[in-house]
Amino acid sequence: MALEQISGMKKLSFMRGHESLSSERTLGEIRRDSSNLDDPFALIAPPFEKPQERLNQLAVQNNVRMKFDHGTTTVGFVYEGGIILCVDSRATSGSFIGSQTTQKVVVVNKYMLSTLAGGAGDCTYWDRVLTRECRLHELRYKERFEVKSAARFICNVATHFRGMGLCMGMMLAGWDNKGPSLVYVDSDGLRIHGKVFAVGSGSLNALGILDTDFRFNLSDQEAYHLAFRSVYHATLRDIFTGGLVRLYHITKNSWRLVSTKDCQELHEMYSKAANNYGVLD
């Protein structure tokens, strides 16, 4: 044993015991599978080309249904008083309701928010990576990371991982040196700057309300009611939308959670006369 240690023979693989080899192999697999902790772009993918297409083929061959229906409703618009984001909280996997309290607004920093639509894991992971990039930018350059730059970052991620099965449809909203910005980004690499967006399975119902009543010079209370009412109508006609409805208001200095209301509470408010609104706290 002493001679093996002195000569270095113990370091060779064929001189090691099975337990030593197994433990080293396990540690190597752990390092490989957790490599994204050091590099967020180093993600483990299936060991074949075009995994999204190949996995779908394998699912069909084995009669396995892997593509679940999913949906949500998220609304955002820019008006005279800032930016409004309004989201529901229902998380589904096919016809199964997994949660009624999912947080679909991710805090990037004190002046930027992101909404979730699509795969919750995909959106949340890349929003966290975006938060890291924003913080590093602030430390390096002593200025805010622009919303359009954040959208370009997510767009580049989607392009890099195209065909890997990413499922994202998010809005990035914030206030930078150029004023309020609202951008839609999805997993196909699409990036759209605009003033009014609705994303998710209930978006068409929400847009019907927004297109009718939105105007730039809304008061704060009118903007709050418009956002709540648009998501409420989506909850009536889209089974994937429901739970709690959260409303956020972004201004030049920060953002705040204005109110959280249950769908039943909104039904009691808006099922009566259209102009019979209460005052939000």
Distance CA 19, CA 21 (A): 5
Q: Give 104's contacts (C-beta < 8 A, 6+ positions apart).
A: 72, 74, 87, 88, 89, 115, 116, 117, 246
Check: CB of residue 209 under 8 Å from CB of residue 226.
yes
Distance CA 200, CA 92 (A): 12
Cα 101 to Cα 197: distance, rounded to the nearest angstrom: 23
Q: Which of 72, 73, 74, 115 is catalytic?
A: 72
Mark whether 73 is an active-site residue. Answer: no
Q: How far is CA 185 from CA 19, 52, 64, 126, 127, in A?
A: 49, 20, 30, 12, 12
Asked if 135 and 107 count as a contact pair (C-beta separation under 8 A), the reply is: no
Dihedrals φ, ψ of 62, to 5°?
-100, 10
151-172 exposure pattern, b = at least 16 Cβ within 10 A, e = fewer: bebbbebbeebeeebbbbbbbb
**DSSP per residue, 211-234:** HHH--TT--HHHHHHHHHHHHHHH
For 83, residues 6+ apart whose C-beta sits below 8 A from its C-beta are 76, 77, 173, 174, 175, 180, 182, 249, 250
Task: Give the residue numbers marked as catalytic.
Answer: 72
